[in-house]
Structure formats: C-alpha cells, structure tokens
A and B are shown apart, each in its own frame.
Chain A
C-alpha cells in the first residue's frame, strides 16, 4: 500500500456539516492527490499537491478545498457537505521510477452525506 493511510475510513455525516479527510504518507513523496470514485465515472481528480503549501485544482474541485502544511499530510475539506459528495475518496502519491512516475493509492474513505 506504499505507506499511505487515510482517516477516517468510513464516515456518515449530515448535509451542511464540514468534513475533513486526512491522507498520510510515510515517505517524503512530493506529489499527492485526492480522487473521488463514483459508479459509472471511474476516478476523478479533485485536487493535487506538488509540495508543501503548493496545491492545484483537478477536474471536480467545486465544493472542496485542500491543505498541505507538512510533506506527509494532505487534507481534503468539504466546507459544507452535500449529498452529491457521497462517494469513495482515494488519496494517491506519485513515486518516481526512472522514466516515469507511478501513482499508488491509499485504502479509501467511504463518505455518506445524509
């Protein structure tokens, strides 16, 4: 699992509440990503980070914010959760392997917004 943990692993929350998901890596990889996975959509990139305090938007960033104050932690925040944000969230890191970079994924967080 490339030393990636996510917390919590499961969460049920109510519409309008703030939610923060945490991704932690044990190796000092520069790039980290947040994806969401929904049936029929594959994985879609929410935000990514290329270093401490360096983040950028992905394909589906509306309603989400991120922060990276330490290399090992990448936080995803839903400021005011909506039912459309019910999904499985995966964190990933990018590991350099010679001519290419390869992404490895964390175990996922299943979020339900009621």
Chain B
C-alpha cells in the first residue's frame, strides 16, 4: 500500500530565508505532483515530476524527484509572504501503467513572516 509522508507539517519562515519541504513515499512510482492550497480555496497544480532526477522551477519554488530514494523536495528560495499556503505532494499509485489514483501527503502549512 502506497503511503506518502510530508515533513514538516508546519513551517514558519522569515522572509528572505530558504527552506525545503520533503515528500517521501513508500512504493515505487514514476509520477509525483505538487499542489498549493490557499486558505478556504481549492488546490492549484504547481509541478508534475515524471522521472528520476527531474527538476522543475517556477519563481522561488523548485521541485525535484529522486525515484530511487522515493523522495521529492520542494525548495523555497528567499521566501516572501505571498508564498504562505499549504503545499501538498501527491503520488500516482499505478507505477509503470496508465492512469492511477493519487495518494496525497498530509500537507505542509507554510507561514512566511516579515
């Protein structure tokens, strides 16, 4: 059974600092997703990572995937208040196949303070 763990679950950062959110998963997968959720809102897709060593960047966020370690990271560079949100990773449960279901981590609530 695929399990997805994120840490930390809560993260309070100062503006301008760097930090990393970790997403570990328990069984082999080849598709990993990162989402952002603002309070009271829906989930917004950030990144799709498909292969070992994949790296994607958007603004101050960079996501990477190590399929051998079953680990993805979401790195935040020089945090700003607008990045305050909850971030979820999700892993496709159907390795090597077509459409699978997503298993979500519990989310990391990020708060960026001045």
CB atoms of A101 and B99 under 8 A apart: yes
A45 to chain B, nearest CB (A): 6
A1 to chain B, nearest CB (A): 7
For the complex, give the distance between the alpha carbons of A113 and B101 in Å. Answer: 28
Please give, as numbers and ranges, the residues of chain A lying within 8 Å of B90 by CB-CB distance: 43, 103
For the complex, give the distance between the alpha carbons of A40 and B33 in Å. Answer: 19
Q: Give residues of chain A (66-98) contacting chain B, Cβ–Cβ below 8 Å.
A: 90, 94, 97
CB atoms of A102 and B45 under 8 A apart: yes
CB atoms of A43 and B104 under 8 A apart: yes
Q: What's the tally of chain A residues with a CB closer than 8 Å to chain B? A: 25
Kindly count the residue-residue contacts between A and B in the assembled complex, taking CB atoms under 8 Å apart: 44
CB atoms of A100 and B106 under 8 A apart: no
Chain B residues proximal to chain A, CB less than 8 Å: 31, 33, 41-43, 45, 48, 50, 88, 90, 99, 101-102, 104-107
CB atoms of A104 and B99 under 8 A apart: no
For the complex, give the distance between the alpha carbons of A31 and B102 in Å. Answer: 12
B74 to chain A, nearest CB (A): 15
For the complex, give the distance between the alpha carbons of A97 and B88 in Å. Answer: 20
With contact pairs A40-B106, A42-B104, A42-B106 given, residues A102 and B33 touching in the complex (Cβ less than 8 Å): yes
Residue among A43, A97, A100 with the most chain B CB within 10 A?
A43
CB atoms of B106 and A107 under 8 A apart: no
CB atoms of A45 and B50 under 8 A apart: no
CB atoms of A94 and B45 under 8 A apart: no
Given A45-B101, A101-B99, A103-B90, 12 other A-B residues pairs in contact with their CB atoms under 8 A: A40-B106, A41-B106, A43-B43, A44-B104, A45-B102, A50-B99, A100-B31, A100-B50, A104-B45, A105-B42, A105-B43, A107-B41
